A and B are shown apart, each in its own frame.
Chain A
Amino acid sequence: MDTILDEIRTRFAVTWEHEQRPDLLQVGVEPVTVVPLLTWLKAHTPYVQLTHMSVVDWLEEGQFQLTYLLTDPEGFRSLMVVTRIDREEATAESVWELWPQAVTYEQEINEMFGIRFPGSPRQGVPFILEGWDDIPPMRRDFDTVEYMNAHHPSRPGREHTDPRTYVGKVVGEKGYLHD
């Protein structure tokens, strides 16, 4: 792990790194470095498998965090390549030519977060949602209650209990939460 990390540091501009577990390392890079880094990792290191792609919406900072989880199938260890892209012009480079299964991840990310992967097949093709006409639902500025009120009529008489106030009330009255 350490030699590979040293090589990554030497060859690519690593902005930050974090050892989450002995077998799980996080490496942060600029968006332009992602595809060269992944190409090099696949060609020259045991991290040959793309296990997962995920997104975090950093609304306040105006950024999306893209994570590529690579796995070493023989060494049972993983490497996360993390990058941040601009939230307004959310475009990232596709990695589907390195791993064909990335097509599905990129299709889902495109639908759920609205991030575009130019050149990737099946961009804009519905993955889970059908006939969706609002902003992508996994963006944090999507108001799910407002959408629900507009589209899904509720049965009158339902009471809502906000967990935060309810727990505070119960603990304040009884001193504990559960019997």
Chain B
Amino acid sequence: MTDTKRTLPVLPPAPPEGATPHAPVDDACFLGERPDVPKLREALATIKNWFRANSLWVMAYGTGCGSIELRPLTTARFDMERFGMAMRPTPRQSNVLIISGYLATKSLKRVIRSYEQMPAPKWVVGLGSCTINGGMYWDSYNTINRLDLYLPVDVYIAGCMPRPEALLAGFSYLMERIKKGEANGWHHYLENLDWYKENQKKLITDWDMPDYNW
């Protein structure tokens, strides 16, 4: 468990006095721990979050009937591309995972795999009542009742089914949260990986994949 746990990037020690920082790759690496850094880092984070919020790439994957409501978003009437959102065919290219409606135990396994393969920063949107409390499938033997036990959910969109307008409202809320730096579900997932894995393995009895899918 612990050897597969991905630790968050550790800031390098401050460069010696008078040294010229070379080849800035990451702002953390570039900025070090100098006294003027926090404000600068905050500004950089704001800019980065603004970019991130305006280029949400959604994985084109539907688990339940809610994915029907995602189709109109891509077409001319609701047109999610005006928000910089696009559908991507693979988890490696996307950073938003939408759990659209009921989630079967069998799908949960694939969803976990896909989520962990997505590059960070990444966000999870729970769409419909089924992800919140089980919805109309609350007593089914084969669908989960609470998504947040297994994946870190950043935004829930209630409804059965939520209309495309509601989805757009939910995505706007997600964008606001990203811009404010509040949508940090992926941090929470990595910090509490043991807890998430415990929940996942309690449900998925035939666990036949790595503990963490890079």
| A148 CB contacts on chain B under 8 angstroms | 138-141, 145
* Bound: A144/B134 CA distance, A: 14
A91 CB → nearest B CB, Å: 25
How many A-B pairs have beta carbons closer than 8 Å: the answer is 53
B93 CB → nearest A CB, Å: 27
Q: A118 in the interface, Cβ–Cβ < 8 Å?
A: no
Main SS of chain A's interface residues? loop
Q: Are A154 and B145 in contact (CB under 8 A)?
A: yes
| A158 CB contacts on chain B under 8 angstroms | 133-134, 138
Within 8 A of A (CB), among B65-107: 105-106
B73 CB → nearest A CB, Å: 27
Q: Which residue from chain B places its CB closest to the CB of A128 in the assembled complex? A: B106
A127 CB → nearest B CB, Å: 11
B153 CB → nearest A CB, Å: 12
Q: A40 in the interface, Cβ–Cβ < 8 Å?
A: no
Number of interface residues of B (CB under 8 A): 21
Q: A133 in the interface, Cβ–Cβ < 8 Å?
A: yes
| A145 CB contacts on chain B under 8 angstroms | 139
Q: Which residue from chain B places its CB closest to the CB of A126 in the assembled complex? A: B206
Greatest chain A CB density within 10 A among B134, B142, B144, B202 is at B142
* Bound: A136/B143 CA distance, A: 16
Q: A142 in the interface, Cβ–Cβ < 8 Å?
A: yes
Interface residues of A toward B: which range?
20 to 34
| A147 CB contacts on chain B under 8 angstroms | 141
Q: A153 in the interface, Cβ–Cβ < 8 Å?
A: yes
* Bound: A133/B146 CA distance, A: 22
Q: B14 in the interface, Cβ–Cβ < 8 Å?
A: no
Partner of A155, one of B133, B141, B143, B203: B133
Q: Residues 137-178 of chain B: 1 if any A CB is under 8 Å from the residue's CB, otherwise 0?
A: 011111111100100000000000000000000000000000
Within 8 A of B (CB), among A123-178: 128-131, 133-134, 137, 142, 144-145, 147-148, 151-155, 157-158, 160
| A160 CB contacts on chain B under 8 angstroms | 138
- Partner-A contacts on B (CB < 8 A): 105-106, 109, 132-134, 138-146, 149, 202-206
- Partner-B contacts on A (CB < 8 A): 128-131, 133-134, 137, 142, 144-145, 147-148, 151-155, 157-158, 160
